[in-house]
Structure 1
Amino acid sequence: MIYTWAADVAPLLDPIIYEAYYREVPQWRQEKADRIRFSEDRALSIGAYVLYQKALRESGLSTEMCFNLSHSGHYVLCSIADEKEKRTGCDLEKIGTPGMKVARRFFCSSEWQYIREQESGEEQTEAFYRYWVLKESFMKATRFGMKLPLDSFEIRLKDEGAPVLVRMPEHIRGEFYFHEYPQKEKGFFAAVCSEDPEIDDMLRWMTL
């Protein structure tokens, strides 16, 4: 089973609260945050790892289990597998102006067609961000990340049920499954991709 948590890092914009959480994370994470220029982005980096630490305590899962982190806007996301060999990726993206030129140039033709055929601008925006977080979560789950061209694998959105991976590069082995966590009222979309077909429906909110 894959479990996913989310949190708002707005409290970490307070320098006193940020410093308190900063002391709780490992030195390598502190150093990573120190290299980040803007305070809002440092808060996301520290907040994502604090969320992971709290999720471990809440779930009782081991640090040996596969996990992945993501952040955008002022929200952070953490997915953890309950089996260490199950590769897992997650992605969260703040809703803004959709990158239609990116989708047209780099997505698969079927994916771009799906976006373009949506009746309204709002529906096109939703389709774009659904694809974006699904693609990012798959790239992270495979551990190839941005080395994978966006059109080297194809995802089919469904009106009902989870999206389906219908094509992927030959050098990638395994079966991958998706689950979406649309949070339009909070201004973001999120998705998880894993080799484990059992992905919890619940997005578990945690206060930092």
Structure 2
Amino acid sequence: MVRVWIADITALLIEETYQAYYNKVPVWRKEKADKYVNKDDRARSIGAWTLWQMMQRELNVPEEAVFNLSHSGRYVLCACSDRTDAKVGCDVEMKGKLLMPVAERYFGKQECEQIRSGKDEKDRTDWFYRFWVLKESFMKATRRGMGLDMKTYTFAWDQDGVPYMSTQPEKYRDHYLCREYIPEQGDARIAVITTDPEIEGSLHEVRLI
């Protein structure tokens, strides 16, 4: 099963708290965080790995477990599967402005039509971010990243409101399970995509202090 955890890293913007968590991560992660000039980026880097360590400890997750990390704004996200043969990708994005030129460049025709059909600007913006996190999650699950043409795979929703892949690239024909989540504050969109046949329905929210 895939477990999905998210944490608010606001507390890590306080130097004393940041150092406390920084001291608990591996050396290579410290070095990665040290390369960032912006303290918010450093906090996200340390916070993401801290969240993964917490999942390992509290869920007794083995070192070889498949996992994926994401971060945006004040959030860090981790999705992990207990199946070593599974593919897992996740993405969290703070909701901002509607970026229709981005959608027109990277999304499929029907996806763009779905965005434009929104009842108002807020609804259209929400549709944009729903598609964006799904597309990012799939890229990460395949490990191709931006090397994968985003127009070669599209998403739709079934009658129960659950997202699914309506088209897939020829090289990635596995069955992918898709899930959406919204944090309690409602200020971000989250998606997880996996070949694991099971994924928890709820988002586990953690506050780092």
TM-score range, shorter chain: over 0.9
1:55 match: 55
Identity score, percent: 43
Tell me by how many angstroms 1:159 deviates.
5.3
- What amino acid is the match of 2:110? S
* Alpha-carbon distance in 2 for matches of 1:85, 1:56: 18
Tell me by how many angstroms 1:100 deviates.
1.1
TM-score by length of structure 1 reads: 0.96
Quick check: 1:33 aligned with 2:33? yes
1:74 match: 74
1:157 match: 157
Tell me by how many angstroms 1:50 deviates.
0.1
1:6 match: 6
Tell me by how many angstroms 1:106 deviates.
1.5
Query: Cα gap change, 1:125/1:184 in structure 2, threshold over 3 Å: closer, same or farther?
Result: farther
Tell me by how many angstroms 1:170 deviates.
1.1
1:119 match: 119
* Alpha-carbon distance in 1 for matches of 2:82, 2:52: 14
Structure 1 gaps, min length 5: none
TM-score by length of structure 2 reads: 0.95
Query: Cα gap change, 1:184/1:98 in structure 2, threshold over 3 Å: closer, same or farther?
Result: farther
* Alpha-carbon distance in 1 for matches of 2:183, 2:14: 25
| 8 Å CA contact retained: 1:65, 1:85 | no
Q: CA RMSD in A?
A: 1.2
The count of corresponding residues between Structure 1 and Structure 2 is 208
Q: Deviations over 1:56-103 (max 9, x none)?
A: 111111121100011101111100101111110100000111211100
1:188 match: 188
Tell me by how many angstroms 1:184 deviates.
7.1
Query: Cα gap change, 1:31/1:41 in structure 2, threshold over 3 Å: closer, same or farther?
Result: same
Q: Deviations over 1:122-173 (max 9, x none)?
A: 1101110100001111110111111112111111134524211121211224
- What amino acid is the match of 1:43? A
Aligned residue for 2:46, secondary structure, equals helix
* Alpha-carbon distance in 2 for matches of 1:97, 1:53: 33
Query: Cα gap change, 1:61/1:198 in structure 2, threshold over 3 Å: closer, same or farther?
Result: same
* Alpha-carbon distance in 1 for matches of 2:137, 2:130: 11
